[in-house]
Amino acid sequence: MEIMPETFLYADGYHDSVSRLNRQLLVPFAYGLVPLHDFTLKYTITDQKLTIDKISCTIMDGEGNVLHITKGIFLPLPKEVQGTFYLAVSCGEDDHVEKNGVPMLEQGYKFQIINLLNPCSPFLFPLLKLHAENGDWEVVDFIPPCCVLSAHSDLSNLSNQCRQCLGKILDLVEKKGDKDAYYQIGYLFIEMSNSFRYDTPAMLISYLKKAVFILKSNDFFNGSDDELLDRAGEFVQLEYNPNALFETIQEALSYLHAALAFLQQTKPEPVVEKPKPEPEEEEFTYML
């Protein structure tokens, strides 16, 4: 068999394709921001133009490609439009760079403004969410897709708020004396606490859906309006959307706060001690 330079290229490409396929199957939602350093994005909007003054982040896509985004850019914003838009980044042509005097290739990228976002696409990353109305543009609260919870400070803070709120609920349920609910919530709280910082956002959403289901099943939303109960039922069946992390976690927090408010108004059941049985008198038989 004659070995040519192309042989090594083909072999390398084959192993890359197998590795990427395995990654997509095993961790389909583990893509997005990587916690190598803090996510930094500074921008200005003037004269129908979005200017990225400073940006610093590292992104991994669904195939394992790593994008080091450090270059600012300006993009014209669409005119006379209304609705929600996103500043998104995707893989571009490789850039020829030199590091420590060694020439090498680095994954390139490109920015674009889009108004439709496929939640199942791991190759187009939204970094900023904008809303347009009557020619006025504003930035909306948004958390980009993340590989782990520690990749974005807002995501980490919201995750900790959920865990702390669930911990308060657990304490009140224990005082209430509801052993079944205490074991259910306690087991879930332990799961959330173990390696919490390194879990994926998909795992966090799964924990929160379980928490809402447990709280709803144990009637801890009593006193809430019917609309909240209906939305809680829909939330449990919600499909994971990596492009809606902020909205999904905020909604879960509203359910946790509703259950917490109900439990804080509920008086703990008094512990009734069973009376101890009086000792029976022993009978003695005397033999004459």
Task: Spell out the residues 6+ positions from residue 235 whose beta carbon is closer than 8 angstroms to its own.
Answer: 209, 212, 251, 252, 255
Q: How many CB atoms lie within 10 A of CB 146?
A: 26
The tens digit of pLDDT for each residue in 66-93 reads 888 888 888 888 887 888 899 988 876 6
Domain range list for the chain: 28-147, 150-265
Q: How many CB atoms lie within 10 A of CB 173?
A: 26
The tens digit of pLDDT for each residue in 175-211 reads 888 889 999 999 999 988 876 777 889 999 999 999 9
Q: Is 234 helix (H, G, I), strand (E, B) or coil?
A: helix
Give the separation between CA 186 and CA 169, rounded to whole angstroms: 10
Give the separation between CA 271 and CA 288, rounded to whole angstroms: 52
pTM of the model: 0.78
Q: What is the DSSP code (8-state) at residue 152?
A: S
Nearest Cα to 31, choosing from 66, 56, 7, 3? 66
249 within 8 A of 204, measured Cβ to Cβ: yes
